[in-house]
Amino acid sequence: DIVMTQSPDSLAVSLGERATINCKSSQSVLYSSNNKNYLAWYQQKPGQPPKLLIYWASTRESGVPDRFSGSGSGTDFTLTISSLQAEDVAVYYCQQYYTPSYTFGQGTKLEIK
Amino acid sequence: EVQLVESGGGLVQPGGSLRLSCAASGFTFSNYWMHWVRQAPGKGLVWVSRINTDGSTTTYADSVKGRFTISRDNAKNTLYLQMNSLRAEDTAVYYCARGYSSSSPVGAFDIWGQGTMVTVSS
């Protein structure tokens, strides 16, 4: 199975500052035939289900604020929140959907400094 | 409104069985692969199972293979998860999630239910 490793495990950022979360896969999730990275990012707030933020590594889901962006290819990916808002406090997960084990990273807890 | 609503969770003894349901509305259910994902208390997300559009293809995580069965009824717009031989480590919130469709550009899990809690304890 592909192992997804996020860093850091937790992060405290001041309001209005940039937050960066990294995700590394144990093998490439880039499908050469369509040049797409099978990598998604989710946000989960306490007591709520996960919410899809980013798919194909960098495509923002409809309705997601443009302060959220995804980048990377192959095995190394990044979720960036350009200007942290109070409502962004949550746990963030990356997920590969390249193989039907659909593994998630362990999660990164984002808090306000 | 596009929606998934799970039901069927509860308290069950080790070795017991439970069937979860996930009612879909607001979209053409039969066009989408569907998934179950679970989350143990205070822990991360773990994919459990998937089923294709007509139910002919199913896949399971190793941890539940041989004990859980995923199925769907497209006429009732409902996804199921039959859980047998339950263990304490199956205790979790179980979410259903919408996956791939040939008519959708997304590919990832774009719609999630609110989840249903399963507790396995004596």
* Mean pLDDT, chain A cut into blocks of 10 residues (113 residues total): 97 98 98 95 97 98 97 98 98 97 97 97
Share of residues in chain B with pLDDT > 70 (%): 100
What tokens appear for A45 in the block? Answer: 């707030």
Nearest CA in chain A to B42: A46
What tokens appear for B47 in the block? Answer: 């994919």
Read off the pLDDT band of B95 (50, 70, 90).
Answer: very high
Subunit contact A49:B95, Cβ cutoff 8 A:
yes
Residues of A in contact with B59 (CB under 8 A): 100
Has residue B2 got a pLDDT over 90? Answer: yes
Q: Which residues contact B88 (CB under 8 A, 6 or more apart)?
A: B14, B120, B121
What tokens appear for B45 in the block? Answer: 């997300």
Residues of A in contact with B40 (CB under 8 A): none
According to the model, what pLDDT value does residue B102 have?
Answer: 85
According to the model, what pLDDT value does residue B103 have?
Answer: 82
Burial of A41 by CB count in 10 Å (0-12 exposed, 13-18 middle, 19+ buried)?
buried
According to the model, what pLDDT value does residue B107 have?
Answer: 83
Give how far B60 is from chain A: nearest CA, Å.
Answer: 8
